[in-house]
C-alpha cells in the first residue's frame, strides 16, 4: 500500500464543495459490541457487532460569503443533510474511494478564535443512516 500526504482532500456538505475552506477532516466509525457469552463459551467472552455509528469532524477557515462555509452550514443547523469525503480530489477509484451518506448538523460555532488569529472553527456531525464506500 502506498503512503501519501493529505493535500487535496475533497469535502462536500449538502452538495456544496467546501474543500477550499477545510483544513482538517476525520471520518470515524464504530460498532457497539454486544455480549453473546454463554456457558458454552468455556470461560471466554463472546461478542457480536451491534449498531454502527460514525462522526464526521471538520475544521474550517470561516467565510461568510455566499456559497461559502456560513452560508452552507447555518441553514442546516438541526437538519440531516448529505456529505461526501475523498482523500484526494482525483477521480474516485479503488485507491481513492469516496465515502458518502448523511450527517446531522448538530452544532455550529460561526465565530470562534483568538485575537489576531485566523477565524477557524471545528464542527463534529454524527452520521445518520448507512454510509457507503464507492470505488467507481
Q: How confident is the model at residue 2 (pLDDT cuts 50, 70, 90)?
A: confident
pTM for the model stands at 0.92
Stretch 52-61: mean pLDDT? 98
Question: What ranges do the domains of the chain cover?
Answer: 10-36+44-134
**Band of the pLDDT at 124, cuts 50, 70, 90?**
very high
**Phi and psi at residue 42, to the nearest 5°:** 55, 40
- pLDDT tens by residue, 10-48: 999 999 999 999 999 999 999 999 999 999 999 999 999
- Mean pLDDT, the chain, integer: 96
Amino acid at each position: 500500500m502506498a503512503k501519501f500526504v493529505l493535500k487535496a482532500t475533497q469535502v462536500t456538505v449538502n452538495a456544496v464543495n467546501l474543500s477550499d475552506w477545510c483544513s482538517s477532516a476525520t471520518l470515524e466509525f464504530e460498532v457497539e459490541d454486544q455480549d453473546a457469552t454463554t456457558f458454552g463459551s468455556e470461560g471466554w467472552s463472546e461478542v457480536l457487532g451491534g449498531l454502527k455509528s460514525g462522526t464526521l469532524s471538520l475544521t474550517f477557515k470561516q467565510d461568510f460569503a455566499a456559497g461559502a462555509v456560513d452560508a452552507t452550514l447555518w441553514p442546516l443547523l438541526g437538519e440531516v443533510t448529505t456529505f461526501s469525503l475523498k482523500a484526494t480530489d482525483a477521480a474516485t477509484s479503488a485507491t481513492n474511494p469516496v465515502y458518502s451518506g448523511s450527517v446531522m448538523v448538530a452544532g455550529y460555532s460561526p465565530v470562534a478564535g483568538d485575537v489576531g488569529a485566523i477565524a477557524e472553527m471545528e464542527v463534529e456531525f454524527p452520521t445518520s443512516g448507512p454510509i457507503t464506500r464507492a470505488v467507481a
